[in-house]
């Protein structure tokens, strides 16, 4: 049916590739492109021989012309961008130049002042409309599925949504005293940044990790959750009409926070270079080098993730609460695709977004977040592709 260019060859890209190959009726051909072509080749070697034809290419995605050249050569229907968030715009430019649809999982961030903000990508809306192509932003789990869950709640369960609490819990245990998932810079930035939530039309800042609750999560149990800012809050605050309050909560264990606080105290999380043996060294980069490689966590991680939305509002004139969530098991993910749940929950929705675009089910010219499309086909695809969701109509609320 179609062809996808997958930019990136890390943990999430690997899940996307596996899932595309599981849906070879839609993804007849894929091309995996990244700076390190050996990583792409390794993925190809692992999955070759199925019905999806796999190509690989060396690509510096910072360079729009290189992306254009690969698109012209491979002629994909859609580009799935699971590389670094610094490259969203160069890849979107290449899609515009070639008339190819675009999907990503995280908002663009300027490399020098990284920030969770959609303004740079939303600014492409008219250009994508004029080019007649679709850019689907933030089609991971959070952002991504959390937006689809909200759109689904809006469509089927509420006349008005008033509050949303997104709860992202990872009860995985990798057995190391300390390690970070994904890129440790991003983890560290997440918890050292101010929290922020939306209430009555305003954004309210909170001190880092100052808002804490204990929440008893299905299949995981009671966990410390902390209020953070997360990028889907921005799009949901705009796209869910009548919304009064949106917050995002993430679990961190006391042990994890103690480690991170100590590392911050001694200066190991700093990005200011220091002079060491005649060389400028950024402490955070050195910390990354001594911590376990995030890629090594997969085979060792046990336990589950639970990510979902607790939604309150009005249906048929009466107050209603609704909790929709997915539970994902690290070990099962690893068995299936060789990555644990963190990569799995991001990669599967990226594949689904691209699949809905190739099938023509989610297709409207412009730049959109996931909650702006009909959630039903996406929700159906989640159930079919390893991320089944569950509902609870009497959840405990977060005060």
Please say whether the beta carbons of 20 and 381 come within 8 A: no
Q: Does 273 bind its own copies (CB under 8 A)?
A: no
Does position 289 interact with its own copies (CB under 8 A)? The reply is yes
Compute the distance between CA of residue 93 and CA of residue 49 in angstroms, rounded to an integer: 33
Q: How far is the CB of 184 from its own copies (least distance, A)?
A: 10
Q: How many other C-beta atoms can be found within 10 angstroms of the C-beta atom of residue 188? A: 20
What is the C-alpha separation between 356 and 8, in angstroms, rounded? Answer: 20
Binding flag, residue 254, its own copies (CB under 8 A): no
Residue 259 interacting with its own copies (CB under 8 A): yes
- The verdict on 279 binding its own copies (CB under 8 A) reads yes
Q: Which of 42, 84, 238, 291 binds its own copies (CB under 8 A)?
A: 291
In whole angstroms, how close is the CB of 109 to its own copies at the nearest point? 23
Nearer to its own copies, 203 or 276 (CB): 276
- If one asks whether residue 317 binds its own copies (CB under 8 A), the answer comes out as no
- Does 294 engage in binding with its own copies (CB under 8 A)? no
DSSP class of residue 302? B
CA distance 244 to 223: 26
Q: How many residues bind its own copies (CB under 8 A)?
A: 23
266 binds its own copies (CB under 8 A): yes
**What Cα–Cα distance (Å) separates residue 35 from each residue in 44, 60, 101, 350?**
15, 5, 22, 20
Identify which of residues 214 and 274 has a Cβ nearer to its own copies in the complex.
274
Q: Binding to its own copies by residue 120, rule CB under 8 A? A: no
Give least dist CB 208 to its own copies, A.
15
When computed from its CA atoms, the radius of gyration of the chain, rounded to whole angstroms, is 20
User: What CA–CA distance (Å, rounded) separates 250 from 212?
Assistant: 10
Q: Where are the alpha helices (DSSP H) in the chain?
A: 11-22, 37-47, 64-74, 88-98, 119-122, 125-131, 145-156, 184-192, 232-239, 254-265, 283-290, 330-337, 341-358, 375-384
Q: Does residue 143 have a cis peptide bond before it, meaning omega lies within 30 degrees of 0? A: yes
The HSE-up count of residue 277 (CA atoms within 13 Å, CB side) is 0
Closer to its own copies by Cβ: residue 285 or 396: 285
**CB-nearer residue toward its own copies: 124 or 256:** 256
Looking at residues 329 to 368 of the shown chain, list those that interact with its own copies (rule: CB under 8 A): none
> Which region among 42-50, 112-120, 287-295, 378-386 touches its own copies (by CB under 8 A)?
287-295
The one among 45, 214, 216, 276 contacting its own copies by CB under 8 A: 276
Nearer residue to its own copies within complex by CB, 286 or 393: 286
Report in angstroms the alpha-carbon separations of 33 from 54, 58, 153: 11, 6, 36
* Site residues (vs its own copies, CB under 8 A): 177-178, 258-259, 262-263, 265-268, 270, 274, 276-277, 279, 281, 283, 285-287, 289-291
């Amino acid at each position: 049916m179609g062809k996808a260019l997958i930019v990136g060859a890390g943990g999430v890209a690997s899940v996307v590739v596996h899932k595309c190959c599981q849906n070879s009726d839609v993804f007849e051909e894929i091309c995996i492109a990244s700076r390190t072509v050996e990583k792409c080749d390794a993925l190809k070697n692992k999955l070759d021989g199925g019905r999806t034809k796999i190509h690989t290419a060396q690509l510096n995605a910072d360079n729009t012309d290189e992306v254009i050249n690969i698109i012209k050569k491979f002629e994909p229907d859609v580009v799935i961008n699971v590389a670094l968030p610094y490259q969203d715009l160069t890849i979107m430019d290449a899609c515009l130049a070639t008339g190819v649809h675009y999907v990503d999982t995280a908002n663009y961030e300027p490399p020098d002042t990284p920030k969770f903000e959609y303004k740079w990508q939303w600014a492409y809306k008219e250009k994508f409309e004029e080019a007649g192509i679709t850019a689907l932003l933030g089609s991971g789990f959070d952002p991504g599925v959390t937006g689809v869950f909200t759109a689904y709640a809006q469509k089927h369960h509420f006349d008005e949504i008033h509050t949303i609490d997104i709860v992202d819990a990872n009860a995985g245990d990798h057995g190391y005293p300390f390690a970070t998932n994904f890129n440790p810079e991003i983890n560290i930035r997440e918890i050292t940044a101010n929290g922020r939530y939306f209430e009555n039309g305003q954004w309210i800042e909170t001190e880092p990790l100052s808002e804490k609750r204990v929440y008893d999560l299905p299949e995981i149990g009671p966990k410390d959750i902390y209020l953070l800012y997360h990028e889907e809050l921005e799009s949901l605050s705009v796209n869910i009409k009548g919304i009064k309050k949106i917050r995002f909560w993430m679990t961190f264990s006391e042990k994890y926070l103690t480690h991170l606080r100590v590392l911050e105290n001694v200066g190991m999380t700093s990005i200011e270079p220091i002079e060491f043996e005649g060389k400028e060294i950024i402490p955070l980069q050195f910390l990354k080098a001594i911590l376990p490689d995030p890629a090594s966590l997969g085979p060792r991680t046990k336990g589950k993730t639970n990510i979902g939305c607790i939604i309150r509002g009005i249906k048929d004139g009466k107050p209603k609460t609704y909790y929709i969530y997915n539970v994902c098991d690290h070990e099962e993910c690893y068995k299936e695709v060789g990555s644990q749940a963190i990569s799995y929950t991001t990669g599967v929705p990226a594949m689904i977004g691209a699949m809905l675009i190739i099938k023509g089910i989610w297709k409207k010219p412009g730049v959109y977040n996931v909650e702006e499309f009909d959630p039903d086909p996406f929700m159906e695809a989640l159930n079919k592709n390893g991320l089944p969701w569950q509902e609870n109509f009497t959840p405990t609320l977060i005060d």
